[in-house]
């Protein structure tokens, strides 16, 4: 009799404030009846976490990460019978990472995990791949954006991950096409499965009679495009439309953004809230008249895949303005579910924000359509069902089945 399946998630850090999509995915799979266990390679280190984390039933194991070669040799000694399967690649890792491979393999045996799944084509997938080989279970992973497009990405390593995986998930049609174009036959088992939300828990409110203000939520890093939005807010003020901007999040560019606000004389209009839990974020986004996602291709190649917070804004009923970067047009369909503008174009961004501020009827139309799209294409229950089919070896719909219209 085959054991009841149990999915073991291998995550670099858990729970991450900026990775709500992981928590939503696990909750959806648990709601569908799947058994989950979590192995975290590092502590999260975030100042707070989302309340949804408390609803996750899966046990969490923080994998020991001792430094120094002595711990590696001790762990290898315990795994001697299986070592030939992974030894050359194990020795190519840093000792601490190699020790974690051995610990995760042991965790798989002890917990009855039958399939490993990692997020991001980075160390988490490397650990899942080698630990799965040691323990004799298949692995899969979800590829997002930075793990594909950053200039430091090792394409040979990604190719090996793709080639050996039972299946590979990626979050947008854009990513799926890029993987096929870049890696050819190695990407044959890639399936697009959009990140999902639970629409039933997100209260939709039409954007009627809201105060004129713009919301931005995200890590303050180059790919989020916040400098362009700040420039756009300065343009609005110059045009006689001074509009408050709420910035939620933190990151390495926090001080740079604050200096830009000061230099442009926007101190009284822009409020930096720092990182906030999900309910506080929903309050700010749900009260805004516009949500802006001015994402860009960063100089280091990094870019957003399809920001979950953008889907959340659409579900809440806040009209969205976004750029045409990677998978964003799969959710924000121009003048149907939001407005799209070119990246790095503050004037176009300011124009689109003005349209939504001046035309409430259009904002309501876009908000209704955006909510309908989230319910139809981004429900986490559908996401969980697609992931379960992939574990069973069944195909998901062809990524090319979702046409996307991008404005000229």
**Alpha carbon separation from 363 to 21, 138, 246, 340, 358 (Å, rounded):** 26, 47, 19, 14, 9
150: nearest Cα among 122, 184, 186, 118? 122
Q: pLDDT class for 1, splitting at 50, 70, 90?
A: very low
Query: Of 154-158, 311-315, 392-396, which gets the smallest average pLDDT?
Result: 392-396
CA angle at residue 244 from 243 to 247, to 5 degrees? 135
Tens-digit pLDDT profile for residues 320-329: 999 999 999 9
Tens-digit pLDDT profile for residues 179-191: 999 999 999 999 9
Tens-digit pLDDT profile for residues 294-305: 999 999 999 999
Measured CA to CA, the distance from residue 269 to residue 262 in angstroms comes to 10
Ordered structural domains, the chain, with CATH? 6-196+379-401 (3.40.50.2000), 199-377 (3.40.50.2000)
The total of other beta-carbon atoms located within 10 Å of residue 32's CB is: 14
Q: What is the pTM of this model?
A: 0.91
Structure confidence at residue 83 (pLDDT): 67
Q: Are 127 and 133 in contact (CB under 8 A)?
A: no
E runs forming strands in 2-127: 6-14, 35-43, 60-62, 115-119
* Phi, psi (rounded to 5 degrees) for 189: -100, 20
343: nearest Cα among 261, 252, 225? 225
Measured CA to CA, the distance from residue 311 to residue 316 in angstroms comes to 9
Tokens of 222: 């180059």
| DSSP notation for 339-405 | EEE-TT-HHHHHHHHHHHHH-HHHHHHHHHHHHHHHHHH-BHHHHHHHHHHHHTTPPPPPGGGS---
pLDDT at residue 164 above 50? yes
Structure confidence at residue 5 (pLDDT): 85
Tens-digit pLDDT profile for residues 90-136: 878 888 898 899 899 999 999 999 999 999 999 999 999 999 999 99
E runs forming strands in 31-114: 35-43, 60-62
Q: pLDDT class for 160, splitting at 50, 70, 90?
A: very high
Alpha carbon 397 to chain centroid distance? 21
Mean pLDDT value across the chain: 91
Structure confidence at residue 408 (pLDDT): 44
């Amino acid at each position: 009799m085959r054991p009841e399946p149990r999915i073991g998630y291998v995550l670099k850090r858990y729970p991450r404030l900026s990775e709500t999509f992981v928590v939503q995915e696990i909750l959806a799979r648990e709601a569908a009846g799947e058994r989950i266990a979590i192995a975290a390679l590092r502590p999260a280190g975030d100042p707070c976490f989302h309340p949804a984390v408390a609803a996750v039933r899966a046990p969490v194991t923080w994998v020991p990460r001792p430094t120094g070669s002595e711990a590696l040799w001790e762990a290898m000694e315990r795994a001697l019978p299986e070592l030939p399967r992974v030894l050359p690649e194990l020795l190519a890792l840093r000792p601490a990472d190699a020790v974690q491979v051995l610990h995760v393999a042991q965790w798989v045996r002890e917990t009855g995990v039958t399939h490993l799944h990692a997020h991001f084509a980075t160390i988490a997938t490397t650990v899942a791949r080698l630990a799965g080989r040691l323990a004799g279970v298949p692995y899969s992973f979800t590829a997002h954006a930075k793990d594909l497009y950053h200039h430091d990405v090792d394409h040979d390593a990604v190719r090996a991950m793709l080639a050996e995986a039972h299946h590979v998930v990626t979050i947008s049609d854009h990513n799926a096409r890029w993987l096929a174009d870049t890696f050819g036959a190695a990407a044959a088992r890639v399936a697009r499965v959009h990140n999902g939300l639970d629409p039933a828990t997100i209260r939709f409110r039409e954007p009627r009679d809201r105060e004129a203000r713009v919301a931005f939520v995200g890590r303050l890093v180059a790919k989020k495009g916040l400098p362009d939005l700040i420039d756009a807010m300065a343009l609005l003020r110059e045009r006689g439309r001074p509009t408050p901007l709420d910035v939620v999040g933190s990151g390495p560019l926090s001080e740079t953004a604050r200096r830009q606000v000061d230099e442009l004389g926007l101190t009284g209009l822009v409020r930096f809230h720092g990182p906030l839990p999900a309910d506080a974020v929903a309050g700010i986004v749900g009260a805004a008249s516009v949500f802006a996602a001015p994402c860009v291709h960063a100089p280091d190649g990094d870019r957003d895949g399809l920001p979950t917070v953008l889907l959340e804004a659409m579900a809440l009923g806040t009209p969205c303005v976004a750029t045409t970067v990677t998978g964003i047009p799969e959710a924000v369909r121009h003048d149907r579910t939001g407005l799209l503008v070119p990246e790095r174009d503050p004037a176009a961004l300011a124009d689109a924000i003005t349209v939504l501020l001046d035309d409430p009827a259009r904002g309501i139309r876009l908000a209704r359509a955006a909510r309908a799209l989230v319910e139809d294409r981004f429900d986490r229950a559908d996401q969980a069902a697609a992931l379960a089919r992939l574990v069973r070896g069944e195909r998901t719909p062809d990524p090319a089945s979702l046409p996307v219209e991008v404005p000229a």
